Structure 1
Amino acid sequence: MSKAISIFDTTLRDGTQGEGISLSADDKLKIAKKLDQLGVHYIEGGNPGSNSKDIEFFKRVQELRLSAKITAFGSTRRKDSQAEHDANLNRILESGVKATTLVGKSWDFHVHTALQTSLEENLAMIYDSIAYLKRHGLEVMFDAEHFFDGYKNNPEYALAVMRKAEEAGADWLVMCDTNGGTMPHEVHDIVSVLAGTVTTSRLGIHTHNDCELAVANSLSAVRAGAEQIQGTMNGYGERCGNANLCSIIPNLQLKLGYEVLEPDRLKQLTNTARYISEIANVYMPVNQPYVGTAAFAHKGGIHVSAILRDSRTYEHIAPETVGNRQRVLVSELAGQSNILSKAQELGIPFDPENENTRAVISKIKDLEHQGYQFEGADASLELLLREANGDLKELFVFESFKMLVEKSAGKPVISEAFVKLNIDGNSIYTAAEGNGPVNALDNALRKALITYYPGLQEIHLSDYKVRVLDDKDATASKVRVLIESKDYGNSWSTVGVSGNVIEASWEALVDSLRYALIGQTKREDYTEIPTAAHGLVNH
């Protein structure tokens, strides 16, 4: 039977120390619920006495009745004092948690320099604090700060710290690579030594990513005897971040054979990572292993040709195992296999020998040469493929648009757009204001279409990006606009390119609404779309 590993998530505490990350009490509660659904074993909520947000979190989290153990963070008692009178320790007890993490010094250099006390007093601080919380029935994890640096500097004292914590009743002895500078082979050797020393406590590992080794170090520690891994979702944390649980969990379970999460829970990993990224408002790298949008994306024609026969040729696991999916990217590198795979995914019949297939490949390469990028604009690509296959009918005829941007002294900028379309032989002319010219165009376009396509009321623009393609022409440079749109439960991206940012935005906006209407013809949860819209797709 495989060995079980305990996952300790500290996104809500250590993760929030990362630059640019700030979570409200509501944010922390949402993330805690999501982590509990994923199946992590411990959720560290923060320091219950450090700020009002953490105080509120510990009060409200009890109402959620989570399966995971909510853990409070604190430090050992102050030097030359009594644990019973330590405000930090008593706030942990008042928080109502059943488990706690206490951080203490294990590097003699830190004891002398940071605490400015004796090695003996530091041992007493550790013992008294742990024993006090154990007498109140708490599960105690002792996080030995700078343990690996301490061991390399003075192994006898670092081990003495752990023995004292075990003597006090610590349930877990967690070795911290606080500065993130330890190598995997050092971690393995040092953990092995400690594993041969302790008798009652279990071992844990807490690593930082300053050398890009936090995941590797965590895995090395487990192979040497650690049974708990502390880390954060998406690797959030101070400086270069903490150990990334999104990589650690599947590596442990799928590569090393440890018991971590139930298989159905593991399938929620990608969704959880992206959900937390949205709540934290932190960009999630597309190439993040296992959970990134590009983790199972294929671009080269040879690769795509192979995965169509058997995905194992270029994928180390089935993406669905972690809740991700395979993607075939279509770009200037695209071959026939890419186009056929994408068409197959969309349910569009494409004959490899058909002239249309070769024409689409040629058109895509030409458009990419002009600056279009379909890797991040799947909706625009689908429209191209459907149009080439004769699946699309004309929604409306564009006649003209005008923009008015006015700025007066002491007054805000006013943007107004005028759009003229022809729909089913009817000339439609609308005007609308907006927060900037692109928003005004969006509002005017929707105003013109909404009578004919009422389902568009549920669509909103969720992201807008502009990229200068060649800066040699300064403000006259060609730009690429990427727009992301959303409805009830779907999102899609479209692209436009022009030397004029308004025209590029218009292209992307029009594609976004055209794509939305394709989806609405397939879903029953929208207001019925009139005949003109129903004629959009021929199936």
Structure 2
Amino acid sequence: MNPPHNGAEQGARPSDRVDVYDTTLRDGTQREGISLACEDKLHIARHLDAFGLAFIEGGWPGSNPKDAQFFERAKDIEWKHAKIAAFGSTRRASLAPEDDPGLRALLAAGTSVCTIFGKSSVQHVTAVLRTTLDENLRMIEETIAFLRAHGRRVIYDAEHFFDGFALDRSYATETLRAAVRGGAEVVTLCDTNGGSMPWQIEAVVAEMKAALGHPLGIHAHNDGECAVANSIAAVRGGARHVQGTINGYGERCGNANLCAIIPNLELKLGLRALPDGALRGITELSHYVAEVANLSPDDHMAYVGRSAFAHKGGVHVAAMRREPASYQHIDPALVGNAMRTVVSELSGRGNLLSKAEEFGLDVPTGAEVEVLEQIKEREARGSSFEAAEASVALLLRRSSPGYKPPFRLLDFKVIAGQREGVGTFAEAMIKIAVDDEVVITAAEGSGPVNALDGALRKALAPVFPAVRDIQLVDYKVRILDGRDGTSATTRVLINSRDAHREWSTVGASTNIIDASWHALADGIEYGLTLAAREPQQFTSTLPASEVA
């Protein structure tokens, strides 16, 4: 496996540490489509703390009741690693710090750390705040000094700093000096509009480091798709405080993604950002935050995505089987992820052999060639096996001479219609062979697939009680060629699960019921093969009458 890049090549020492400041609970929630309850925020904060981050920004007290409640409840929690920070703005131009309601709310939050943002850009001072340049400098210095006098550590976020620096570098620098005079322990340079380039960021941070001789941080937004690169560039320029969010959540195009920044800091630059061994938990953390935010994880996200170390091309997989480092820049285990082999029409023999090893299957010599041809033929007719690994496993199992399927379909019939006074209905009758015995059952359902599912379970339950533990959890339909209208090939992907795992199966046909049956039957067959191999894990908790 490729060794991590040596941080010494960037001038870093092993003792160098970067403090990671998470703002998922404040800036991250400004993403369109995210709304976290107070309980959600507390759950995420506990995970962030256990992960080992230096700072967790809980929200903006005084801006809404939810954030005020978060800080009130956070007082009773023992935080092991992180300092909880409350966020707010400099005092209003017309008020003394002690009279400003926002600053009073910050003190009431009871956190040891307060993060204050202020204006760095002449344009924002005059056009947005509509005050004088000198008054803005006083607002910054007096606000920070006020909080310091009340025993708070203060981090200063210089909003729109890089844009302000481009407009008037002298004034932008003076705003930082005002923050230093007020007592800010870190001055964070913000690329608020997210449009700066990495080489600009690195040069400006290095210049400010030399000019101020004071600890600097970076807060980057992703409007130019450079937030991670800009954060790394800032560290190269001398910043040792990095702000961002888990999964890059944030307003507009998002914030700098800590799930990429942290591995880059530790594995590429040789800097310390987490306690020893904590980096292995970053994939789990990414998925947990996505789940709480009710968002699907991005499978293609660097380091933590399900596809980050997935290999599809036959040439790639063949090389990986000989040398794991040939198509991976790090060992996936370093970030708690795993290498996967994807099977598709682009696969070679190595893909199938790797997948068989992954499933723990002994495939007869040469059988993978036959299975590969089946996959390519079925993909040409509309199936897609990338997201249907259980269907691949079944094809491999069926290639073994000793494999006996738990059932075989002989025929099925589905009737769907509408009855006056009843509404729509569906009835299914199936004929299957179980241990060479023909079983005929029928069931009603809310739709054709539900009726087929019910009939199949009714036929199998007396012989295979574990079928009651198998639940259908998702059903996706895709029309592959809309030009053919209602006669187009339809692909059906079904996700099933039991108490221990989840799996996916696929079917494709010009008949949607036929496509659904193949995906459904494969899902049940795969679940039953698992039950046969691991019977101790299957104890039915569902009523016999319940179907997915």
TM-score normalised by the chain length of structure 2: 0.90
Corresponding residue for 1:474? 485
Corresponding residue for 2:9? none
Q: Cα deviation per residue 1:252-282 (whole Å; 9 max; x = unaligned)?
A: 1101100112353111111111222222222
Corresponding residue for 1:406? 418
Pairing 1:371–2:382 present: yes
Pairing 1:192–2:210 present: no
- Aligned amino acid, residue 392 of structure 1: Y
- Aligned amino acid, residue 72 of structure 1: A
Pairing 1:216–2:201 present: no
Give the Cα–Cα distance (whole angstroms) in 2 for the partners of residues 405 and 206 of structure 1: 59
Give yes or no for contact 1:80–1:121 (8 Å, CA) kept in 2: no
Corresponding residue for 1:121? 135
Change (3 A) 1:78 1:360: same
Give the Cα–Cα distance (whole angstroms) in 1 for the partners of residues 69 and 470 of structure 2: 35
CA RMSD of aligned residues (A): 2.2
Q: How many residues align?
A: 524
Shift of 1:416: 5.6
Pairing 1:249–2:262 present: yes
Change (3 A) 1:300 1:27: same
Give yes or no for contact 2:220–2:243 (8 Å, CA) kept in 1: yes
Corresponding residue for 2:17? 4
Pairing 1:304–2:317 present: yes
Greater relative CO, 1 or 2 (CA 8 Å, sep 6+): 2
Pairing 1:431–2:407 present: no
Q: Cα deviation per residue 1:330-378 (whole Å; 9 max; x = unaligned)?
A: 1111111111111122222235xx3422211111111111111111111
- Aligned amino acid, residue 291 of structure 2: E
SS in 2 for 1:325: coil
Shift of 1:418: 5.0
Give yes or no for contact 1:74–1:101 (8 Å, CA) kept in 2: yes
Q: 1:130 aligns with which of 133, 144, 160?
A: 144
Q: 1:107 aligns with which of 118, 121, 135?
A: 121
Corresponding residue for 1:533? none
Corresponding residue for 1:384? 395
Pairing 1:95–2:125 present: no
- Aligned amino acid, residue 333 of structure 1: L
Give yes or no for contact 2:363–2:399 (8 Å, CA) kept in 1: no
TM-score normalised by the chain length of structure 1: 0.92
Pairing 1:527–2:543 present: no
- Aligned amino acid, residue 457 of structure 2: R
Identity %: 47
Give the Cα–Cα distance (whole angstroms) in 2 for the partners of residues 78 and 181 of structure 1: 28
Alignment of 1:110-189 (within 5 A): 110-189=124-203
Give yes or no for contact 1:420–1:430 (8 Å, CA) kept in 2: no
Give yes or no for contact 2:408–2:433 (8 Å, CA) kept in 1: yes
Shift of 1:479: 1.5
Give yes or no for contact 2:283–2:303 (8 Å, CA) kept in 1: yes
Q: 2:33 aligns with which of 20, 23, 36?
A: 20
Give yes or no for contact 2:468–2:540 (8 Å, CA) kept in 1: no
Q: 1:207 aligns with which of 220, 232, 246?
A: 220
Corresponding residue for 1:516? 527
Give yes or no for contact 1:496–1:508 (8 Å, CA) kept in 2: yes
Shift of 1:403: 4.3
Change (3 A) 1:122 1:486: farther
Pairing 1:81–2:92 present: no
Give yes or no for contact 2:429–2:440 (8 Å, CA) kept in 1: no
Change (3 A) 1:100 1:444: farther
Shift of 1:421: 4.1
- Aligned amino acid, residue 512 of structure 1: G
Give the Cα–Cα distance (whole angstroms) in 2 for the partners of residues 303 and 191 of structure 1: 40
Give the Cα–Cα distance (whole angstroms) in 2 for the partners of residues 180 and 240 of structure 1: 9
Give the Cα–Cα distance (whole angstroms) in 1 for the partners of residues 148 and 529 of structure 2: 61
Alignment of 1:314-329 (within 5 A): 314-329=327-342
- Aligned amino acid, residue 182 of structure 2: A
SS in 2 for 1:524: helix
52-61 or 467-476: which moved more? 52-61
Change (3 A) 1:465 1:356: same
Give yes or no for contact 2:89–2:118 (8 Å, CA) kept in 1: yes
SS in 2 for 1:307: helix
Alignment of 1:56-71 (within 5 A): 56-67=69-80, 68-71=82-85
Give yes or no for contact 1:405–1:416 (8 Å, CA) kept in 2: no
Corresponding residue for 1:505? 516
Give the Cα–Cα distance (whole angstroms) in 2 for the partners of residues 57 and 450 of structure 1: 49
Give yes or no for contact 2:153–2:184 (8 Å, CA) kept in 1: yes
Pairing 1:313–2:334 present: no
